[in-house]
Amino acid sequence: MSPAPVTVTPLSTYRNDTPYPFCPGCGHGPILDRLNEALVALGRDPHEIVLVSDIGCSGLSDQYFDTHAFHGLHGRSLTYATGLKLARPSLTVIVIMGDGGTGIGGAHLLAAARRNLDLTVLVFNNFNFGMTGGQHSATTPAGALTSTTPGGHLERPLDLCATAVASGATYVCRATSFDADLGRRIGEAVAHPGFALLDIWEPCTAYFAPRNRLGKKATTELMASLGFERGLMHQSEAPEYGAVYRAAARGVSAATSVASTLIEPRFRSSLTRPFRLVLAGAAGGRVGTAAHMLCRAAILSDLFAAERRDYPVTVKTGYSLAEVVLSPAPIEDATVAAADALVVLSPEGRAQAAPYLSRLVSGARIFALAGIELTADERRVERLDPSAAPRKLPSDVIATTMVAAVALRLELAPLAALRAAAEGEGDPARMSAAIDAAERLASAP
């Protein structure tokens, strides 16, 4: 037996019973009536439609439709629409914003157009802020009278459509609220699978129209006098952002970068109290790698370790500092107020090392790369010269070599622990060479 046929009754309206609140002659009501016609023609489930309204008189629009409604902040409607559509791709998302919203939310308009997410933007463009007293907006023509341009507007209007086209919108059309085919255009824009913008010019009968004698005929003439095109300006096919995002996500490796890398202590350190070191070097000198290696070697040796970093806002220039605390007990205070050992790895680190030099603990050890002058009693400085190794070490393992040598001299962690930790920090062959060099350096006079 075949299943009973399902009868679908298209909605005759998406409007509710509440009358519009707009001024007599305002274009908002007629545009919303055309939107309703477009929705009826498209026949989509109202549960799959959300009207996202911006601020101003047009921001009231969502209340007159029995669909989902989202009324947010001024100029930000495109951001809410983007979140709604990305989180629930099946939604038909229609943004209603005024010319004010396009101005304050200009960055969002550019970004949304470039993304080509499947959103429809209906701009209710009446050239001024109607709700707040007729102030000028981003689309107010030069010379126009508004409550904030009593001598005529001095700025030129934003060409919304040209801006949207230049930014990559894939459906762009300019219309007026008087157009007989406006409902069809709205339907086209909503059905378009990408970012669609419809710039709809209309009269603000409270302020802009009477001040500037902008009726139906003058609205059309204004377009021509500004040299703004009318009708469908651009329609193209381009990958829709949501679809592209989901396809790209399927190709991304599922390997997580935040999974636990557990360390099982299997060596022993002779350390019986907290020990605080400062490693002072240069950005790009792998100070972080060296500090990380030392900490992991310590944890492998049944210690606790903490590594606090300090660096300027520049990237491959300037200093790079690491404060390292090693302790037989969990570490709460990861700062180094007074260091047990200071390791100066490069000239850039010297200035950063200076404050630590003045507050070392009694009996603290000072290590420096050969050739770096310090403002310390030279007899106290232990010089390490990795270049004395039989084979020249690559520059990216100098810091690791120095720090491993210091760890050996201070008996912070055994050689095997340093070797195991180093091999986890980079190319095993290079890291192994670094530890070999460290072993020689540690025993050098």
Q: Interface residues for other proteins in 253-272 (CB under 8 A)?
A: 253-254, 256-265
Q: What is the DSSP string of 337-400?
A: SSEEEEEE-SHHHHHHHHHHHTTEEEEEEEEEETT---SS-GGGEEEE-GGGSSSPPPGGGHHH
Q: Considering the rule CB under 8 A, would residue 50 count as an interface residue with other proteins?
A: yes
Cα angle 426-428-429, degrees, rounded to a multiple of 5: 125
Q: Which stretch binds other proteins (CB under 8 A): 43-51, 123-131, 218-226, 400-408?
A: 43-51
- Binding of other proteins by 63 (CB under 8 A): yes
CB of 330 to other proteins, least distance (A): 7
Q: Based on CB atoms, which residue is closest to other proteins, 50 or 406?
A: 50
Query: How large is the C-alpha radius of gyration of the chain?
Result: 34
Q: Which two tokens stand for residue 382?
A: 């232990």
Exactly one of 42, 166, 223, 311 binds other proteins (CB under 8 A); that residue is 311
User: 180 near 37, Cβ under 8 Å?
Assistant: no
Max Cα–Cα distance, the chain, nearest Å: 100
Closer to other proteins by CB, 8 or 87: give it.
Answer: 87
175-194 residues near other proteins, rule: CB under 8 A: none
User: Residue 133: left (phi > 0), alpha (psi -120 to 50), or beta?
Assistant: left
Single out the residue of 62, 118, 199, 202 in contact with other proteins (rule: CB under 8 A): 62
- Applying the rule CB under 8 A, the residues between 66 and 95 that interact with other proteins are 66-73, 76, 78-88, 90-91
Rounded Cα gap, residues 20 and 35, in angstroms? 14
Residue whose CB is less far from other proteins, 67 or 219? 67
Q: Which of 224, 337, 351, 388 binds other proteins (CB under 8 A)?
A: 337
In angstroms, give the least distance from the CB of 8 to other proteins. Answer: 18
Sequence-ordered alpha helix ranges (H) in 66-105: 77-87, 99-104
Distance from the first to the final alpha carbon of the chain: 96
**Residue 170 engages other proteins in binding (rule: CB under 8 A):** no
What CA dihedral angle connects 82, 84, 89 and 94, to 10 degrees?
-70
Among 19, 24, 332, 379, binds other proteins (CB under 8 A): 332
CA distance 426 to 404: 15
Q: Contact between 238 and other proteins (CB under 8 A)?
A: no
Scanning residues 108 to 137, which ones bind other proteins (CB under 8 A)?
Answer: 108, 110-111
315 touches other proteins by CB under 8 A = no
Q: Is 299 in the site for other proteins (CB under 8 A)?
A: yes
Q: Does 1 bind other proteins (CB under 8 A)?
A: no
